[in-house]
Amino acid sequence: MSDDVTTPRLLLLDGHSLAYRAYHALPVDNFSTVTGQATNAVFGFTSMFINMLRDEKPTHIVVAFDVSRRSFRTEKYPDYKAGRAETPAPFQGQVSLIKEVLEALRIPVVEKAGFEADDVIATLATQARDAGMEVLISSGDRDAFQLATEHVTILYPGRGVSDVRRMTPAAIEEKYFVPPARYRDKAALVGESSDNLTGVPGVGDKTAAKWINEYGGLDGVVANADKIKGKAGESLRAHLAEVLRNYELNALVRDLELPLRPEDVRWVGWDREAVHQVFDALEFRVLRERLYSYLDAVEPEAEAGFDLDGRVLRGGEVAGWLAEHAGAAPVGVAVTGTFGRGTGQVSGIAVATGSGPAAWFDPAGLDEGDEQAVAAWLADPARPKVIHDAKPALLAFRAHGWQLVGVTVDTAMAAYLAKPDQRAYDLTDLALRYLKRELKVDAPADDNGQLALSFDGDGADTAVEEGVMLRARATLDLADVLTAELSRDGGESQHLLDEVEQPLSVVLAEMESKGIAADTDYLSELESHFAAEVKAAQQAAHEVHGREFNLGSPKQLQEILFAERNLPKTKKIKSGYTTDADALQDLFTKTEDPLLAHLLRYRDMAKLKSTVDGLLKSVSDDGRIHTTFNQTVAATGRLSSTDPNLQNIPIRTEEGRRIRRAFIVGAGFEQLMTADYSQIEMRIMAHLSVDEALIAAFNSGADFHAATASSVFHVGLGEVTADQRRKIKAMNYGLAYGLSAYGLSNQLTISTDEAKTLMDEYFERFGGVRDYLQSIVKQATTDGYTATVLGRRRYLPDLTSDNRQRQEMAKRMALNAPIQGSAADIIKIAMLKVDEALRTSGLNSRMLLQVHDELVFEVAPGERDALEELVRREMGNAYPLAVPLEVSVGTGRDWNGADH
């Protein structure tokens, strides 16, 4: 096939064939959204498609799909394709998602009732060939081989999504011993098991090809059937009817009436906003990056473009430039350098104005006057700045000795509040989405350091300085668009940005900078302890089973558990039966097989050892661990922690709590103090549902779970049994997560009927909770989103999805988001209040960590009582609920000892 780019090149894809191939190539367990929708077929198909766009560079594209399993072929032969298995449940719904991806990419889809996708492809391929186009057909159906010619190549998928074989006429003849025009003849003789077309018994590709080549095709073979000797000849004569049937059914229809022709399907590029929406919903962050990486030149994004005069400032020039251009009007700021571990180092700063001028300078090249001017500009709240992801820059400035004040818009934070379910908030991506422009630079600097920059650049290589200036300008423009976006909900999102998220980023930067002291000797001892426990559990498992095996190999575990030990089968997956932790725990509960006990112990200890290994690597030179708090990860508004994840330090088991003992009070301080909200999510439930009985239970001052159990079981508070309290506690916490009777029965190990009765009794007593839970889903379905007490929205388009699994998952999110999100809002407000109170009180104690509903402090000498009073006051008054915000406080020399 020619590589002449002037010749139109049509890419035809068999949608169902490729989707099914992708489904079987990628493990379904590894590909699903938070809504529970399986996406392995969509991911694989999209990945293959992107590769074809990159490698083949088609000018015209069509994807054909089967309408159903019924066609004119099943009318002629009812058993056609009858041997195929039922469509796997995880595959159902994925074809419609693939069509959503194709719609976003502006790829036409063609279907024809009564015919197969192969017939659509054959028709379009024939038309395109006759019109002088080159044709590429991507299909996993070998029937397509009969279409191959000098100008038609088949892209046949191999084992994985990236394995594609180019089946030219020569390649087809080499593999099947006949040219493409005779492939249909060969298929009629040997049959096609996937289509339930039986061939001549005992006749394979070589024998069929020998006959076809000797007698000039199938017609000649049939005419000379009596002359073919041996058992093969006898078999042929006995099955001539099946051969002729196969030949008729294998014929691809090449003259269908279709709604379009090849010349109508020139690809004009994708709808970037639609791609964002679909890829966000599918959580395809990596594929989106690949798509832009491979195809960034297909569709120009700069609708108008503009000039940005940039200048590289030398020593002695910065102070004057800032005085002239960075005054009362907002400027965009972009910073380069190294960031992390609670610090950073600035290597370059770019500033861009709304009127056009931009500048870049290296902090290392500043003279004394420039240094003072930059420090004054950064610290002046009256000189507004717009920046993308301010916290790393703030920490790097701090390390340099500068203070960043006056950030009016953090565009990463604003984008998060506008679309909290997005997977990433990269500036380049946001510029494409909101500004329809790409971060490209047109012209290099001249001798005077002057630059002419434009979004619609030609892709030429550019200096780092130019790109940073362009990012500063993009940030400034993006701030205007995002501010308008946030204003659409009546100002609640803007309030969250101005009064919560941006101020909190400053507080979090301080916490990251301080870090928390770690006992490295103790961590090393723990690492050795858990390593020994891993080895002991492994040896015990080997002894129980009687031989050595790899405890980390799912394949070996499947063989041992379900074949050799004949244990009950777990959930069926592509590779056999699942051996994940939940499945093994459930299996152990049912069977009490001792091998399972050792397997579970092995996994627990290995996980703890890995956690300790990570902590040891994270200790900085100052002997402290500096985590990074993320504000734009969880759609509910909760903070997350990375490098290392301190919110994932175990607390439920004694072995896990041993790790918390490694976090200790630092030099110059007396103790660690922990403070957290007691049952905050249930208190929010009481507030939002306005359930009088639930409010009364909190206001009684008694143990909450015992008080609610007393109401449900109609017994006195002192008569509530431990089992009754356990059951109601599970109800209390589970309701906000869409707990079902089935889920409750599993959690409490009781029958579904008993669980349903328990839920009915609970709702009979707390009817306001039932009404609230029903109303929140109904309202979210109408509005398309839920909201927290501060108005933080979470958009849930899947509430109206035709896919029941996705809709049910969205309903559970609708139940949980207002409660968990409100808890996140309240702890953030508490942190801001505590930070303000600490600064104005004169106390030297400091806030170090936030872990969900818990805050961790380092207590300065003699300040324990004052700090506790301050913390209880500010946390308790963070937000006015219908019930008190109860705060629990504990102190100790280490994190575990400070538990309460």
The amino acid sitting at 589 is T
| Digit-coded pLDDT (tens) for 245-276 | 888 888 898 999 999 999 999 988 777 778 87
Range in 4-8, 204-208, 519-523 with the lowest mean pLDDT: 4-8
pTM of the model as a whole = 0.72
The average pLDDT across 664-681 equals 95
Identical fold between 9-172+252-272 and 301-515: no
| DSSP conformation class of 717 | G
CB atoms inside a 10 Å sphere around CB 573 = 17
Q: Above pLDDT 90, what percent of the chain?
A: 44
User: What pLDDT is stored for residue 729 in this prediction?
Assistant: 84
Listing DSSP states for 360-371 in one string gives EE-GGG--HHHH
Q: Rounded to an integer, what distance in angstroms lies between the CA atom of residue 530 and that of residue 740? A: 37
The average pLDDT across 144-156 equals 91
| Digit-coded pLDDT (tens) for 720-733 | 898 888 888 888 77
| DSSP conformation class of 668 | T
Q: Rounded to an integer, what distance in angstroms lies between the CA atom of residue 242 and that of residue 252? A: 18
Three-state DSSP class for 766?
Answer: coil
Range in 107-121, 207-221, 451-465, 543-557 with the lowest mean pLDDT: 451-465
Residue 154 has pLDDT above 70, yes or no: yes
Tell me the range of 424-428, 437-441, 506-510, 693-697 where mean pLDDT is highest.
Answer: 506-510
Q: Pairing state of beta strands 134-138 and 9-14?
A: parallel
Tell me the range of 52-66, 111-125, 497-511, 738-752 where mean pLDDT is highest.
Answer: 497-511
Q: Rounded to an integer, what distance in angstroms lies between the CA atom of residue 100 and that of residue 45? A: 12
Q: Rounded to an integer, what distance in angstroms lies between the CA atom of residue 280 and that of residue 797? A: 12
Q: Rounded to an integer, what distance in angstroms lies between the CA atom of residue 765 and that of residue 694? A: 9
Mean pLDDT (the chain) is 86
Residue 895 has pLDDT above 90, yes or no: yes
Residue 608 in tokens: 């703890």
With contact defined as beta carbons under 8 Å apart, do 639 and 630 qualify?
Answer: yes
Residue 35 has pLDDT above 80, yes or no: no
The average pLDDT across 813-838 equals 94
| Digit-coded pLDDT (tens) for 290-336 | 776 665 434 444 444 445 788 899 889 999 999 999 999 999 999 99
Query: CA angle, 288 as apex, 297 and 50 as ends, to 5°?
Result: 65
User: What pLDDT is stored for residue 442 in this prediction?
Assistant: 47
Contacts of 240 (CB under 8 A, 6+ apart): 222, 225
459 confidence band (pLDDT: 50, 70, 90)? very low
Contacts of 557 (CB under 8 A, 6+ apart): 549, 551, 579, 599
Contacts of 800 (CB under 8 A, 6+ apart): 781, 807
User: What pLDDT is stored for residue 620 in this prediction?
Assistant: 95
Q: Where are the chain's structural domains?
A: 9-172+252-272, 301-515, 823-892
| DSSP conformation class of 891 | E
In CATH, the number for domain 823-892 is 3.30.70.370
User: What pLDDT is stored for residue 737 in this prediction?
Assistant: 67
Residue 34 has pLDDT above 50, yes or no: yes
User: What pLDDT is stored for residue 225 in this prediction?
Assistant: 84
Listing DSSP states for 794-862 in one string gives EE-GGGG-S-HHHHHHHHHHHHHHHHHHHHHHHHHHHHHHHHHHHHHHT---EEEEEETTEEEEEEPTT
The average pLDDT across 101-109 equals 91
Per-residue exposure over 698-721, b if at least 16 CB sit within 10 Å of its own CB, e if not: beeeeebbbbbbbbbbeeeeeebe
User: What pLDDT is stored for residue 866 in this prediction?
Assistant: 97
What angle do helix axes 285-295 and 40-56 make, rounded to 10 degrees?
10
Residue 69 has pLDDT above 80, yes or no: no
| Digit-coded pLDDT (tens) for 379-421 | 999 999 999 999 999 999 999 999 999 999 999 999 999 989 8
Residue 126 has pLDDT above 90, yes or no: yes
User: What pLDDT is stored for residue 446 in this prediction?
Assistant: 39
Q: Above pLDDT 70, what percent of the chain?
A: 93
User: What pLDDT is stored for residue 32 in this prediction?
Assistant: 80
Residue 30 has pLDDT above 80, yes or no: no
User: What pLDDT is stored for residue 488 in this prediction?
Assistant: 81
Residue 525 has pLDDT above 90, yes or no: yes
| Digit-coded pLDDT (tens) for 853-886 | 999 999 999 999 999 999 999 999 999 999 999 9
| Digit-coded pLDDT (tens) for 616-668 | 999 999 999 999 999 998 888 999 999 999 888 888 788 889 999 999 999 99
User: What pLDDT is stored for residue 343 in this prediction?
Assistant: 92
Between residues 163 and 112, the one the model is more confident about: 112
State how far the alpha carbon of 108 is from the alpha carbons of 99, 100, 154, 359, 793, in Å: 9, 11, 20, 46, 35
User: Which overall architecture, per CATH, does domain 9-172+252-272 show?
Assistant: 3-Layer(aba) Sandwich (3.40)
Domain 301-515 CATH class label? alpha beta
